Amino acid sequence: MKTLITPEFKEKASIISPSSLKLLVRIIDFFETSSKEDVVEESELFRVLPISDIYVSLAGDTQIYFTFGTDDEGEYVLLMDIAETQKAPIQREYFAQKNPASNQSLNPTFNHSINPVFNNSINPVFNHSINPTFNHSINPVFNHSINPVFNNSINPVFNHSINPVFNHSINPVFNHSINPVFNRGFGGPYLYSKQLQKEGYLVNANEKINIIYDMKNKHMGFSVIHGEKIQLVFDNKSKWIGYLVSTEQDPILRFDTKGKWVGMIV
């Protein structure tokens, strides 16, 4: 089969360890000399697990996510993502798939369309529709459906599927594929200060909840998605501490409960 790769896969593959790179070359060679049926069957090279229409190959410390498709030339395999679990922490600058320090389009200093100082539509001081003080539908004090104190489905104390103490798949201490300390290919999203310093990262729990960790993998809290533009941020005791505003592109802006711009997520 023909092998295709996504830009994200190519970027992450460039930073994996030599041993994982050597294994990747062998796996790609296997893909290109095999049929779909051969790939999804057990092999000596790797183990394959299906996840809906996406598959993951498990070989040593390397996980490759891929899917199949067809075009005018026939069947192909598309390599989508790669992760590498390290046996020991890596002392390095963490890889960011979208890095505002090197990409000016993601940097509010250079791109004024994502800077609330210049773009009033994403500034809650001027746009009251995205300001919980004025718009009570996005204020957890008034809208109990987005308040974990009143809505048990978004409260980690009651809903263990969004609680990293009980759900180890969203806990980087147990799941090293979502831990930037161990996984070279983990690319974010990261929380940044206004000075573009990494302060933490997000792990998606479900369609409504993102779990927030600091850069030492400490559980800091979670965000509740409300509509297309707003996420409410709570600490790990379910206290409301801020909110996130979509710029309708990358990044997402971070504000405290009083509407002060404190950083972004990308």
Closest CA to 32 of 82, 66, 83: 66
C-alpha 137 chain-centroid distance: 26
Q: What is the CB neighbour count within 10 angstroms for residue 82?
A: 27
DSSP secondary structure string, 146-211? G-TTT-GGG-TTT-GGG-TTT-GGG-TTT-GGG-TTTBTT----EEEETT--EEEEEEE-SSSEEE
CATH superfamily of 2-84: RelE-like (3.30.2310.20)
Tens-place pLDDT, residues 109-147: 999 999 999 999 999 999 999 999 999 999 999 999 999
Check: CB of residue 77 under 8 Å from CB of residue 1. Answer: yes
Per-residue model confidence (pLDDT) at position 150: 97
Domain boundaries defined on the chain: 2-84, 104-265
Per-residue model confidence (pLDDT) at position 118: 96
CB burial of 21-39 (b: ≥16 within 10 Å; e: otherwise) equals: eebbeebbebbeeeeeeeb
Per-residue model confidence (pLDDT) at position 93: 64
pTM over 0.75: no
Mean pLDDT, rounded, for 50-78: 84
Mean pLDDT, rounded, for 154-177: 93
